[in-house]
Amino acid sequence: MSRIDTLTLDQQAFLRRWHSDWLQVGFETKPADRTKAESVISTMYDLLGKPHPRFIWVDSPATASLAIYVLKYSNQRASLGDSLRASLGASLGASLGASLRASLGDSLGASLGDSLGASLRASLWASLGDSLGDSLYWGQHESAWIAYYLFCAEIGTQFEKQSQQTLTLWSDLAKSTGWWIPYTHIVVCCERQREIHIEPTRQLIGGMPTYRLHAENGPTLKFADGWAVYALHGVRVPKQYVLSPADSLDPAEILKEPNAQVRMAVISKIGFARMLGKLPHKVISSSRNTRGVNRDDALIEFALGNNLITRGLHVWWKEKSGEEKETVIPVWRTKEQFGADCPDNIDDCEQVRRWAMRLPGNVEIVTEI
């Protein structure tokens, strides 16, 4: 077949539908089709010349982590996907132009990967710590690379027969189960989430929308055994920050939160204006924002009660998506606390901002804190 360098208008429309369909695969909440999943995985073991494994089904990744803890000391992980991806990638080089491969890689691989794999993985890892290690195969959340290669096949890429058959197996598996972890003789399979709540971001990757976990008043992910993950705007947060009404959250406690991303997410729920209204404060100095936002940054001193005083740097920035964001960065109040790299004037908002972001005097960057 001749090399494909561009998509037709019909193929572009098909790509948008394809992207939407595979997002639904990743976000599916129906119970797993256990019979189908076990059949597909057994066939994969056949292709590796290995005996069929025994299956352990669990209701959540939290329960899976307990099974992994036991199994990792007595079972060897089975590698099922790497050789297939290498074979599929080699076939693409002969059938798709480099520019189109890169474009589809963004539209499907990167966009779906950001919405499914990256967002969900970050929340699970934050919730379960190191107990999962690198153990999880994605199941339904493996949709990004599967969707990419299957779309290439749909528009004419010819894969080797065995590679095409194996890719079909991975597709069937993504559509039948949640997370799964293969070992030599045992496979741990996890039921799908029963609830998932997301919000669109303003970021387009390859012209396709992306999504992140978010729920204002309850869990963003919930599994059959009750285990849940709480997240605000894609950031995993302690559940009390989600379940508590915004007006009941204590701004003083939020400013003490050591995790910058959590602090930023909760401030977005409370609203900075409301924080100022609840906390005695004074503005030490301000500086004109030069990062695409028509608002001033400010160095503010807050009274937290019990004779505690802290300073915070209130900064704004604009992300590539165009979304304006704000957060408060705790900063020191004395030169002794700043130490050797102390700004010349610790009451100067711009100097303190550069110190907080570790910027040289002549450099401007836009960054998420």
Q: List pLDDT tens digits, range 130-181.
A: 444 455 556 787 778 888 888 888 888 888 888 888 889 889 999 999 988 8
pLDDT at 90: 58
| Residue owning tokens 């999504």 | 211
pLDDT at 146: 85
- Is the pLDDT reported for residue 89 higher than 90? no
pLDDT tens for each residue of 21-39: 998 998 899 999 999 999 9
Q: CB–CB of 283/299 below 8 Å?
A: yes
Among the ranges given (37-41, 67-71, 240-244), the one the predictor scored with the smallest mean pLDDT:
67-71
Give the predicted TM-score (pTM) of the model: 0.74
- Helices and strands in the chain, H and E counts: 15, 14
pLDDT at 276: 81
Q: CB–CB of 265/237 below 8 Å?
A: yes
**For residues 342 and 203, what is the distance between their CA atoms, to the nearest angstrom?**
36
Sequence-separated (6 or more) residues with CB below 8 Å from residue 119: 211, 212, 213, 234
**For residues 320 and 3, what is the distance between their CA atoms, to the nearest angstrom?**
33
If one compares 338 and 138, the residue with the highest pLDDT of the two is: 338
Highest mean pLDDT among 105-119, 187-201, 326-340, 354-368: 187-201
If one compares 296 and 338, the residue with the highest pLDDT of the two is: 296
Provide the residue ranges of all domains of the chain, joining segments of one domain with +. Answer: 9-192, 274-357
Q: What is the largest CA-CA distance in the chain?
A: 76
pLDDT tens for each residue of 202-212: 777 788 888 88
Long-range CB pairs of 65-73, under 8 A, 24+ apart, other chains included: 65/128, 65/131, 65/132, 67/181, 67/188, 68/131, 68/132, 68/133, 68/135, 68/181, 68/188, 69/131, 71/183, 71/186, 71/188, 72/133, 72/135
**For residues 346 and 353, what is the distance between their CA atoms, to the nearest angstrom?**
10
Mean pLDDT of the chain: 79
Q: Using 50, 70 and 90 to split pLDDT, how confident is the model at 367? A: very low
CA atoms within 13 A on the CB side of 254: 32
Average pLDDT over residues 51-79: 77
pLDDT tens for each residue of 266-325: 888 888 778 888 888 899 999 988 777 888 999 998 887 777 788 888 988 887 777 888
Average pLDDT over residues 339-358: 86
pLDDT at 56: 92
Closest CA to 222 of 33, 59, 67, 65: 59
